[in-house]
Amino acid sequence: MLRVAIAGLGTVGAAVVRQLRANADSIALRTGRPVALTAVSARNKNRSRDCDLSGIEWVDDPCALAERADVDVIVELIGGAEGVARQLAEAALSKGKHFVTANKALIAKHGPALAALAEQSGAQMSFEAAVAGGIPVIKALREGLAGDTVDTVYGILNGTCNYILTRMRAEKLPFSVVLADAQKNGYAEADPSSDIDGHDTANKLAILTSLAFGVAPDISAVRVEGIRNITLADIQFADELGCRIKLLGVARKASDGIEQGVRPTLVPQSSPLAAVEGTFNSVLLQGQRVGTITLEGRGAGGDPTGNAVVADLMDIARGTRTFAFGVPAGRLGLLKPGNPRPICYYMRLQVQDRPGVVADVGGIMRDENLSFASLIQRGHSKMDSVPVVITTHEGDAEAMRRAVEKIARLPAVMEYPCLIPIEDDAP
């Protein structure tokens, strides 16, 4: 029998309890041994929860779970990179307890150190649920593609942002209205900054980068930009250009290292990512031998994420042992950030409607060796500003940054330009 303790009984924790109870016979049949829940711990014992905790011992201090003789594996669903979550992880692994978590911040920041602890004590550390909810992308990278060389990891990794961008386009609603509605319906937190500013995606991308390229996760090497400044006008202009705006996490091999970035991006409507709507996630993995593999599904929520936790528990019950990041922790390399490759850009300007403005913009771009691919102008007003949308041919990222700063200083430009990359060669 594999004896399990759970720390954290929120949406995901309750789902794990339900699945372990409801599927107990099937789990035992598939793994060759029963998987039993023996103890739980959470902040509030008296809170009503959508799961049956009868016959399961309650423990007030989650770190005490690591000391129990009747616990073989601890599931951490508390969250956060520090505090109790980290203390519990270190205590469990030091004692030789297997450790399963859905905590992307913990793994992105302390994963290699925890993996080293696991290797020293003979414990298994697993975190399938930390990235993309119910999509088995960790297993795909660590095991399914272990014999290939991965060049690119690319995808939609945050359901909240995808939900907001989807509704903005489908219902022609501004960002602030959709965000408020997402918070009301539980799709966004009361403080949504981790999601909408891209930090949640950055944590997940750092983990995928580690698995794909054999390097230690490095959040500081991820260029991060969220969707807070995306307007309904941008959504509509993107549609006119045959594209959709998605918050993408992208990691790819560059000539000088590994490029990592989280940014709103225009993707062609022909791309598989353009069709991913609502709270769904999608990850594209590009290998040198297998080509492109697309994984899509529910990237968050109790049941999908709980299923990923249970899958890790079943692997442990079978006796499956793998290095947490695919290789020994001590063999993870240091990530060398690569410079972004040349790419096309979308730039929206709000300018005074007077002669010579576009020529001034064109002059700045010419000086930076950048060129227009298309130009869209809507409206005509002598008093007010009008939007001008420019798409570029492939250009250097640093040159584009310099050009935008110069354009922003033009007297006729009324607000800082909106610049969004265009991924026209998505794998």
d(CA 151, CA 254): 9
Amino acid at 164: I
Burial class (CB in 10 A: 0-12, 13-18, 19+), 87: middle
359 burial (CB, 10 Å; 0-12 / 13-18 / 19+) is: exposed
Task: Identify the active-site residue in 104, 109, 139, 204.
Answer: 204
Residue indicated by tokens 């390097």 = 215
Going by DSSP bridges, is the β-strand pair 372-377/385-392 parallel, antiparallel, or unpaired? antiparallel
What distance in Å separates the CA atoms of residue 262 and residue 224, rounded to the nearest whole number? 5
- The answer to whether the CB of 66 falls within 8 A of the CB of 92 is yes
Calculate helix-pair angle for 232-240, 159-171, nearest 10 degrees.
70
150 and 285 Cβ atoms separated by less than 8 Å? yes
Question: Which candidate, 281, 269, 341, 290, places its Cα nearest to that of 308?
Answer: 281
Say if strands 98-101 and 73-76 run parallel, antiparallel, or are unpaired. parallel
Per the annotation, the verdict on 184 as an active-site residue is: no
Contact 371/421 with Cβ under 8 angstroms?
no
Q: Is 385 helix (H, G, I), strand (E, B) or coil?
A: strand
**First vs last C-alpha separation in the chain:** 44
Q: Strand 243-254 relative to strand 257-268: parallel, antiparallel, unpaired? A: antiparallel
Residue found under tokens 């992307």: 104
Burial class (CB in 10 A: 0-12, 13-18, 19+), 184: exposed
Query: C-alpha angle with apex 248: 247 to 251, nearest 5 degrees?
Result: 160
Burial degree of 294 (CB within 10 A; 0-12, 13-18, 19+): middle
The residues carrying an active-site annotation are 204
